[in-house]
Structure formats: C-alpha cells, structure tokens
C-alpha cells in the first residue's frame, strides 16, 4: 500500500512539470490511483466518502475567505497606480544618496508586501517602473535586477502574505490533527494572526540585511550605485515640495497597512474582517486620488476572481490527493521513513526543508503549501517542533526558492518585463548576494527560533 502512495506522489510531480492545470492533475491522478487500488483491493473506498465534507469545509472556511479579499486590496492598489506613485516618490526621497534608488526599491518592496502580499504583481510593477530608472542612472543590470527581484519576494513573508494565510490554515489543521492523534482533546491552536506576528521580526531582519548590502556596495563599488544629479532631482519634483510629495504618496498606503495589520495583531479583528476593511480602504484611497473608474473596477474584480478561483480549485484538488495518500497509508510510511533517519530530528527536518527549497524551483508556493506541508508537518509537530517556528521557516524557505536560478519565479517575472539589454545571466548574477542573505536569515532563525516565536507569545501569551 505504501508503494502505491509514493508512486502517486511521483506521478503527481511528473504531471505537474508537464504544465497541465494543477487542480486537474491533483484530482485526476488521485482518483485514478483510488480506482486502481479499489480494483486490486488495496484501497478502502470509504475514504472517498469524506470528499463532500472536505469541499464544504474549504468553501465555508472563514480564514480562507481572507485570500480573495487581500488579493482584491492588492490589485486595487496596483491598478490605481498607487504603488507606481510610491515608487517614484521614494526614489526621489533617496535620490541624493549613493544607492538611493536601491534603498527606495527595497523600502517600497517592503511597503507593497505589507499592502498587496502578491509577489508576481510586485516584481512586475517594480520591474516596469524602477528597472528603466535604475539603468538610466547607471546602475549595473546585476544590482538593479537583483534588488528588484529580492524586494518583490518580500510579499512571501511580510504580512498580509497569501503564503502565511494558506500556511496558517494548513499548519493549524495539522497541529490539531496531531494533538487529537496523541489523545489530547483540549487542543491548542495556532492562528493566521500568530504567523503574521511571528513573521514580522524575520521580515524586518531580512529587509535590514538587504539595505545593509546596498550600503556596503556604496563603499566597495560606488560606481555601481550612483546618486541622481541635483539638476535631475529638481526636474523630478514636478513643482511640488518634496515633503508634500512624500506625504501625499506615503501616508495613505501607510495608514491602510497600519489599520489592516494593526487590527489583526492587536486582536481587534480576524484576518478576514481586517481584509474587508483593507478592500474598502484601498478603494477609498483610489477614489480620493481620482484613479478609480468603472473600467478599472471591472478589471480589478475580474483579476481577483480569476486568481481566487485558481487558488480554491487547487485547494479542492489537494483534498482529493491527501485523502487518497492517507488511504494508502502514505502518511504513516513517510513518518516511519523520517524517524528512521540518523541524527534525531535535525537531519529529517533539514532534508524536508531542502525538498521544499528544490520543489520551489518548479512548483508554485500554493502547490507546495497544500500538497507537501499537510503530509510532512504532522510528523514534526508530533515530535514537538514548534508549529509557529515551522511555519515561518517554511515561508522563508519558499521565498528563497522564488529567487534561486534557474527556475525562480521572480526571475521569470522580471525577465518578462526587462529590456533586452538586461540579460538572463545578469539577472541570475544579481540575485546571488540576496540568496546568500536569505540563507543567512534562515540559519539565524534556525539557531535562534525565539526570533520567530517571542513576539506572538508576548502579545497573545
């Protein structure tokens, strides 16, 4: 039976690489193996009777309702050009400094991550706006592309990340399942708010290291990150005082971020309630700046519906897979395999993190979150691994894989909008220092797990 479970996993991986729609691959391959198992007497068909309850649970899950709402908020900020205005203004604020454009891209990447949570949209937006500006000011293609790719992936970690919302749901279910399996019926829970709060310190550490790298370049390779000439800065002001221009561009999205994240982290609202407030706030900002028309609104709704449908369809497909995988006792076989490894839990955890890192080259974070994490998380949680720390480590790991050549998704996003003068090799070389930074932060959180757990425990107990 265990052989069929791992054979199903291998077939699934091959079909996913073929480019066929993920949801259909998950459902089709799972039902095929269930049918074969029933014919051979290896699979109990009563497992399939749980599918309707699984589907109802997904569609009625209040936590997952935050996903389309946060997507709507991010798409609204993108299509109403609020993000574009923020990039231009922050670039002007730091323009007099060497590396100023690099600093501004990282800071705006952090702010956009905290307001959109969508990596692809952030990388593409900054690639279209900031990359030509950085190249025009004689930034090397490597520094410009590496900074944009790395800053764009901050949306994987910094709340309200879609990754953290999905991880929060998956790890919460795995944690409760593990406790019930151990005979503990008064179960502890972990929420999306816990993950949001836990991700803040690692996220800020990552941003700090990014800024430190650009600062280091200003000393060792100053010609790679020049300042903007004074005459050009005066032209960029557009007859407005710099302080007013910064206030006009920065204050509305910053207020939106503080209201949304603050209400979640302080316990005033659930992520879903806060996301609905964020949707309204994004529309109010766009209306106030007179950048929201019916045609733009229609595009926002269509894009949100398209992305949300894809995510939920994948979640439904993953339910089919997990039921069939457990029906073949694949979860028990995997647990036995990991526990049989030498070196206690350290080696097993290291191998799983390496697997997630490698799969991140080929699969989207949604696929990894709903396929891999439900299978491996219960094993580690049963051995006493902190679920909050595990979630943050996985999010950091997925973010690193988004940057890593040759298949990192952020590299493809930027390649699609970069001019021909920026070669693929330059993009690959540019992200290498940021990959090293990512791995360094991963090591820091591994060695000092309290950096990811002390803030939620301080706030929520």
Does 433 fall in a domain?
A: yes
CA within 13 Å, CB half, 79:
22
- pLDDT at res. 216: 94
What is the 3-state secondary structure of 202-227?
A: HHHHHHHHHHHHHHHHHHHCHHHCCC
- pLDDT at res. 303: 87
What's the pLDDT tens digit per position in 278-329?
889 889 988 888 888 888 899 889 988 888 888 888 888 888 888 888 888 8
SS3 265: helix
Q: Which two tokens stand for residue 61?
A: 């899950």
Mean pLDDT computed over 364-388: 82
Residue 421, classified by CB atoms within 10 Å of its CB into exposed (0-12), middle (13-18) or buried (19+), is exposed
What's the pLDDT tens digit per position in 9-45?
788 878 877 767 778 888 888 889 889 888 888 888 8
Whether residue 73 contacts residue 116, with contact meaning beta carbons closer than 8 Å, is answered with: yes
CA within 13 Å, CB half, 54:
18
DSSP state for residue 187 in the 8-state scheme: -
Does 437 fall in a domain?
A: yes
| In the block, residue with structure tokens 């500006």 | 133
- pLDDT at res. 81: 78
Is the predicted pLDDT of residue 193 greater than 60, yes or no? Answer: yes
Quickly state the pLDDT bin for 436 (edges 50, 70, 90).
very high
- pLDDT at res. 322: 81
Cα separations in angstroms, 59 against 174, 217, 374, 401: 18, 49, 18, 30
445 vs 408: CA distance, rounded Å: 22
**Residues above pLDDT 90, as percent of the chain:** 13
Look at residues 362, 352, 197 and name the one whose alpha carbon lies nearest to residue 263.
197
Whether residue 456 contacts residue 197, with contact meaning beta carbons closer than 8 Å, is answered with: yes
Whether residue 134 contacts residue 94, with contact meaning beta carbons closer than 8 Å, is answered with: no
Q: Which two tokens stand for residue 261?
A: 């994240």
- pLDDT at res. 414: 85
Does 283 fall in a domain?
A: yes
- pLDDT at res. 246: 75
Most distant CA pair in the chain: distance in Å? Answer: 79
278 vs 256: CA distance, rounded Å: 7
- pLDDT at res. 237: 61
Across the chain, mean pLDDT equals: 83
- pLDDT at res. 207: 93
CB within 8 Å of 451: residues ≥ 6 apart:
201, 202, 205, 444, 445
338 vs 330: CA distance, rounded Å: 12
370 vs 27: CA distance, rounded Å: 13
Whether residue 340 contacts residue 387, with contact meaning beta carbons closer than 8 Å, is answered with: no
334 vs 127: CA distance, rounded Å: 42
330 vs 442: CA distance, rounded Å: 29
Q: Which two tokens stand for residue 364?
A: 């989207």
Does 262 fall in a domain?
A: yes
Alpha helices in 137-191 (DSSP H): 141-152, 162-181
Look at residues 453, 381, 456 and name the one whose alpha carbon lies nearest to residue 173.
381
CA within 13 Å, CB half, 378:
20
45 vs 23: CA distance, rounded Å: 21
239 vs 369: CA distance, rounded Å: 49
96 upstream amide cis, omega within 30 of 0: no
Does 332 fall in a domain?
A: no
Does 443 fall in a domain?
A: yes
Mean pLDDT computed over 159-168: 84
250 vs 380: CA distance, rounded Å: 42
- Tally of domains in the chain: 1
What's the pLDDT tens digit per position in 89-144?
777 777 778 888 889 889 888 888 777 666 666 787 778 878 888 888 888 999 99
Q: Which two tokens stand for residue 17?
A: 């690489």
Quickly state the pLDDT bin for 234 (edges 50, 70, 90).
low
What's the pLDDT tens digit per position in 238-286?
556 667 777 777 888 888 888 888 888 777 888 888 888 888 988 998 8
- pLDDT at res. 352: 86
Name the residue range of residue 58's domain: 27-320+387-460
Does 47 fall in a domain?
A: yes
Whether residue 207 contacts residue 77, with contact meaning beta carbons closer than 8 Å, is answered with: no
Does 248 fall in a domain?
A: yes
């Amino acid at each position: 039976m265990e052989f069929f479970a791992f054979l199903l996993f291998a077939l699934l991986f091959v079909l996913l690489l073929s480019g066929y729609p993920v949801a259909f691959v998950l459902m089709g391959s799972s039902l095929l193996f269930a049918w074969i198992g029933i014919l051979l007497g290896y699979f109990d068909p009563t497992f399939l009777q749980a599918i309707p309850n699984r589907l109802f649970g997904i569609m009625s899950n209040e936590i997952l309702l935050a996903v389309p709402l946060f997507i709507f908020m991010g798409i609204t900020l993108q299509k109403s050009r609020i993000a574009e205005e923020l990039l231009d203004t922050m670039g002007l604020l730091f323009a007099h400094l060497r590396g100023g454009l690099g600093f501004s891209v990282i800071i705006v990447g952090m702010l956009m991550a905290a307001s959109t949570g969508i990596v692809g949209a952030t990388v593409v937006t900054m690639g279209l706006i900031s990359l030509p500006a950085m190249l025009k000011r004689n930034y090397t293609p490597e520094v410009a592309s590496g900074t944009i790719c790395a800053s764009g992936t901050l949306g994987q970690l910094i709340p309200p990340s879609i990754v953290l919302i999905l991880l929060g749901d998956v790890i919460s279910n795995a944690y409760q399942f593990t406790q019930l399996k151990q005979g503990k019926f008064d179960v502890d829970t972990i929420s999306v708010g816990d993950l949001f709060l836990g991700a803040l310190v690692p996220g800020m550490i990552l941003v700090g290291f990014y800024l430190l790298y650009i600062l280091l370049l200003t000393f060792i390779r100053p010609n790679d990150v020049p300042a903007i000439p004074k005459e050009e800065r005066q032209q960029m002001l557009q007859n407005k005082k710099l302080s007013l221009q910064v206030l006009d561009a920065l204050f509305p999205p910053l207020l939106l971020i503080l209201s949304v994240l603050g209400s979640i982290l302080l316990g005033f609202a659930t992520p879903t309630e806060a996301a609905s407030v964020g949707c309204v706030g994004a529309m109010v900002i766009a209306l106030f700046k007179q950048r929201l028309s019916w045609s733009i609104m229609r595009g926002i709704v269509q894009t949100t519906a398209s992305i949300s449908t894809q995510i939920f369809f994948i979640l439904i497909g993953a339910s089919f897979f997990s039921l069939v995988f457990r029906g073949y006792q694949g979860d028990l076989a995997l647990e036995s395999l990991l526990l049989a490894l030498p070196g206690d839990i350290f080696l097993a955890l290291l191998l799983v993190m390496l697997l997630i890192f490698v799969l991140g080259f080929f699969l989207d974070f949604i696929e990894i979150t709903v396929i891999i994490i439900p299978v491996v998380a219960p094993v580690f949680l049963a051995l006493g691994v902190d679920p909050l720390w595990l979630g943050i480590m996985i999010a950091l790991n997925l973010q690193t894989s988004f940057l890593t050549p040759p298949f990192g998704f952020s590299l493809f996003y930027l390649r699609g909008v970069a001019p021909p003068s920026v070669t693929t090799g330059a993009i690959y070389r540019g992200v290498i220092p940021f990959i090293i930074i990512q791995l360094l932060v991963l090591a820091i959180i591994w060695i000092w797990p309290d950096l990811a757990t002390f803030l939620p425990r301080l706030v929520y107990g």
